[in-house]
Structure 1
């Protein structure tokens, strides 16, 4: 079986240093499979962002069909929480996939303790407003008036916890960016600050830092859940009218959704400089615990942990993910693949 060699290229206008993504050819597994007890299976453990659940379920099926002696075991978390399972709670995992590639860089590669060396960027996304036919205001909401619809006294909406999940901090980034995009400096106050402990501070350079405390304490019309997929049931049941979600989540669950302007949806590299004017400070009341994260286009990353028990299988999984089959799965799932995949850190081998 041949193994695709994927080489990184300079991605137009991206603020990353691409390095060659080299998948070293592995030993043929057929002999190995014939030598083990038929009841035994190698376990490949993957911790991943909740928004990767649907495409990773399809990848799991393809991978186990290709390597029937392997049992792929997956756990979904908010991306930061997934990483902390390894870095703070001592869990063993072969692969970690994040909805924000920079979390892997910051939390696993660049710190004093190294948990990984390479970070493969493989898919993109954008922020949308998901809703159903029964949502209040559904018959009139547009990309031009959504924030006024959200201001309605009886309209309930939600986003995920930005301390745990990239979609959560991207949601408040999007709302803050909306103030300048729509020329309305009350949007963040009206939609976020009056309902929870999250608050924004204007900096001397004109940028804005959104502070997320450990106790967000949402009230009123706002629902906050640990990760973005946790809002799906609230939307389906009618507990909320709108969820600030990834486009892929809306597509995968069959929701209606409002496409937001590129200036605020975090989906376009053309607006990376505008996005960069907004940052989020996680756990703002716990110095040294959370990350200061700048707004940027949404790119997913995956890494093999340094102590991965099944490193060779992990590399095989990345080969599937970044190859033609994986690209087709992500396209179908509403998460356009990055072709060719690129990486930060050391070449993957």
Structure 2
């Protein structure tokens, strides 16, 4: 009788082990991925935040096995993160310049860069402002004490804005009144809170703050800055190329392009 209990325990252990192995084999045969999600890391310009969050939902509805991780910041900072080895699968920039720097370093997979959208530079003021300029030259008016633009060294919106101010002959007169923002959305925030008298922003961002800001110049003069194009591409060494290609396909699908249009982006015809 002293040996019965150990035999029962051993028998139970064997039965449980076999049951677990059979269950795991069954899961593999059925293709069940109960313990695994593919992650897709996307670094995108801050001005793409709203449309990309909507496209993410659209994508995950059709790809429930992929978990999309979105990271938004200025294109320059995102490019620096990728250069430093950040685990990024897709890069969407607000400037061809930032994408080109990664291409030159062979950090973007060959043949994956495409232009997904365009934008415009506008002048915005706080919603209760009485300032109504007829042209960019009016920004030199002494009543305009502070003007916010993105940092030209790290943000495409700042680079484009500085180009506009220089080409219209305004830069030298207002450069001491300039406040630099860290990304495109911060330009909108400064103006909406009345912390500055005017700002140069993307037209898409100005749309988001319609209750707190108003657009007083709807478009920069033609040729006053390089054309605003948003490139997207797959970062070389991506862990899940199939998922990356599928997400970019979603961006360029009819639904994806409609979402970009809804947020004011200019879509280039194929």
For normalisation by structure 1, the TM-score amounts to: 0.64
> Which of 96, 102, 122 lines up with 1:128 in the alignment?
122
Measured after TM superposition, the shift of residue 146 of structure 1 is 4.3
* SS at structure 1 position matched to 2:91: strand
Matched, 1:338 2:251: no
* SS at structure 2 position matched to 1:99: coil
User: 1:321 maps to what in 2?
Assistant: 251
Per-residue deviation, residues 294-324 of structure 1 (Å, max 9, x unmatched): x421111001011111211111111111110
User: 1:147 maps to what in 2?
Assistant: 137
* SS at structure 2 position matched to 1:325: helix
Measured after TM superposition, the shift of residue 172 of structure 1 is 0.5
Task: Tell me if structure 2 keeps the 8 A contact 1:149–1:155.
Answer: no
Matched, 1:311 2:269: no
* SS at structure 1 position matched to 2:92: strand
> Which of 162, 167, 173 lines up with 1:190 in the alignment?
173
* SS at structure 1 position matched to 2:53: helix
Per-residue deviation, residues 75-119 of structure 1 (Å, max 9, x unmatched): 1121121111111x21011100001123212x11124x4443231
Matched, 1:166 2:156: yes
- Count of residues in Structure 1 that have an aligned counterpart in Structure 2: 239
User: 2:88 maps to what in 1?
Assistant: 93
Per-residue deviation, residues 5-48 of structure 1 (Å, max 9, x unmatched): xxxxxxxxxxxxxxxxxxxxxxxxxxx9x624335321110011
* SS at structure 2 position matched to 1:45: strand
- The higher radius of gyration belongs to 2
User: 2:15 maps to what in 1?
Assistant: none
Measured after TM superposition, the shift of residue 58 of structure 1 is 0.8
Question: Per chain length, whose mean CA-contact separation is higher, i.e. which structure has more relative contact order (CA < 8 Å, sep 6+)?
Answer: 1
Task: Tell me if structure 2 keeps the 8 A contact 1:48–1:79.
Answer: yes
Matched, 1:116 2:46: no
* SS at structure 1 position matched to 2:52: helix
* Unpaired segments ≥5 residues, structure 2: 1-27
* 1: CA distance, partners of 2:69 / 2:58: 13
* 1: CA distance, partners of 2:73 / 2:42: 11
* 2: CA distance, partners of 1:226 / 1:36: 44
* 2: CA distance, partners of 1:315 / 1:242: 40
User: 2:37 maps to what in 1?
Assistant: 41
Change (3 A) 1:323 1:146: same
Change (3 A) 1:108 1:259: same
* 2: CA distance, partners of 1:116 / 1:81: 20
* Unpaired segments ≥5 residues, structure 1: 1-31, 180-186, 196-220, 265-270, 276-294, 341-349
